[in-house]
Amino acid sequence: MRVWRAFAGLLLAAPGFAHVVSMSTGDLKIDGRRAHYELRMPLYEMSHVAGAEQMLLDHIHFSSAGAAKLIKKECTADQGQGIYFCTADYEFTEPVDHLDVDCTFHAVTVPNHVHLLRAVNGGRRDQALFDFSFSKATLRFRPPTPMEIAITECGAGVMRAVGGLVQVLFLASLVLAARSRRELAAISGMFVAGQIASALVVAHTRWQPAPRFVEAAAALTLAYLAVEILLLPRAGARWLIAGLLGGFHGLYFLLFLQSTGYAPGYVLLGAVAAQFVLITTFTLIFSRINRWISALRPVQVSACALFIVGMVWFLLRLRS
């Protein structure tokens, strides 16, 4: 009983964890002992940041044989492009060979925020991805090995698949929607296939989905799946619905791939592996719990909470 109450509580708290799509980018150009940094943060993230200019640049630090000294900074809001743009100039104690970076933008925006840093040093390039699980990195400005690329990009896919509470709860809801192990396999497979197809196919079209649209669409998928569970308990072809919902969720991976330039194969491989592990885990947990509390109708209770989350989240995204 306590586990199901906790699950329902997490569902109701999910809108408070803000955006599924929460990314920023930064470009650092190093010239000897000096460096110029440009940060692009979506304007909709700034509602979470108090004292934006000071707070943002206080959450990224550069060092190389000593901390870099901040010389000048400036931030402006570009309403037309929906971007909060900051620039900063730094000075190091000696010419930069390797660069240590400490970035905690997730602490000042939302917990699942991702920052992509691209750096150039005398014609040599490197980049790093920062989130709540990896807030520090060292850029060595050398070509990465194939193994390093595979590990980094697969790991990024894993973290994007499970890095937000909403993504995890949606996978749990897929388990709730399945009425048998066979149906769960079909639902899970079609959901993953829909994600992959969306991320790969839309990239070759002229359509560029806005992050706000992706947010709203993901919210409605939560609500619709809840309606399926509550009002259409005997409906057939639920696997087809899962595939369509996966298409909307795949747009998030599309935006991530476009922002990072990572290889779709590695990112999607990591994401799919993580999702199947979570689905299997939820299946084992729910099957054991159902034996004890089946009289309390846990599936219906959780579906009601899921519907509330989806609609509240959808309304919040329309207002943001």
User: What's the rounded mean pLDDT across residues 178-188?
Assistant: 90
Residue 277 lies in a domain: yes
- What is the Cα–Cα distance from 293 to 290, expressed in whole angstroms? 5
The pLDDT of 23-32, averaged and rounded, is: 93
Distance of CA 283 to the CA centre of its chain: 23
pLDDT at residue number 48:
63
In a domain, 189, yes or no: yes
Q: How far apart are CA 188 and CA 147, in angstroms?
A: 29
Shared-domain flag, residues 229 and 276: yes
Supply the pLDDT for residue 44: 75
Asked if residue 201 belongs to a domain, the reply is yes
Please report the pLDDT score of residue 20 as a whole number. 60
Each residue of 80-117: pLDDT tens digit?
A: 778 899 999 999 999 998 999 999 998 888 777 889 99
pLDDT value at 63 more than 70: yes
- Domain of 204 in residue numbering reads as 2-19+164-319
Q: Are residues 206 and 98 in the same domain?
A: no
- Residues 309, 189 within the same domain: yes
Rounded distance, CA 52 to CA 76, Å?
10
| 307 and 186 fall within a common domain | yes
Q: Which residues pair with 126 in a beta bridge?
A: 119
Q: Which amino acid is at 285?
A: I
Q: Tell me if 120 is assigned to some domain.
A: yes
Q: What is the mean pLDDT of residues 286-291?
A: 72
Residues 288 and 304 in one domain: yes
Instruction: Identify the domain boundary among 144, 179, 199.
Output: 144
221/299 same-domain check: yes
Cα angle 112, 115, 120; round to 5:
165
| Domain final position from 87, 116, 144 | 144
158 in a structural domain? no
Radius of gyration of the chain (CA): 21
Distance CA 301, CA 256 (A): 33
Q: Are residues 243 and 127 in the same domain?
A: no
Residue appearing with tokens 């699950």: 7
Count the alpha carbons within 13 Å of 5 in the hemisphere toward its beta carbon.
Answer: 2
Domain contains 7: yes
In a domain, 315, yes or no: yes
* Residue type for position 108: V
Please check whether residues 130 and 200 belong to one and the same domain: no
Domain assignment of residue 314, yes or no: yes
- The verdict on 53 and 125 lying in the same domain is yes
**53 and 171 housed in the same domain:** no
d(CA 81, CA 316): 21
Which of 114, 144, 174 is where one domain is finished?
144
Number of compact structural domains in the chain? 2
Task: Looking at the structure, tell me whether residues 9 and 64 fall in a common domain.
Answer: no
- Give the pLDDT band of residue 229 (cuts 50, 70, 90): confident
Q: Are residues 37 and 91 in the same domain?
A: yes
With cut-offs at 50, 70 and 90, classify the pLDDT of residue 319.
low
Instruction: Identify which has the larger pLDDT, 94 or 48.
Output: 94
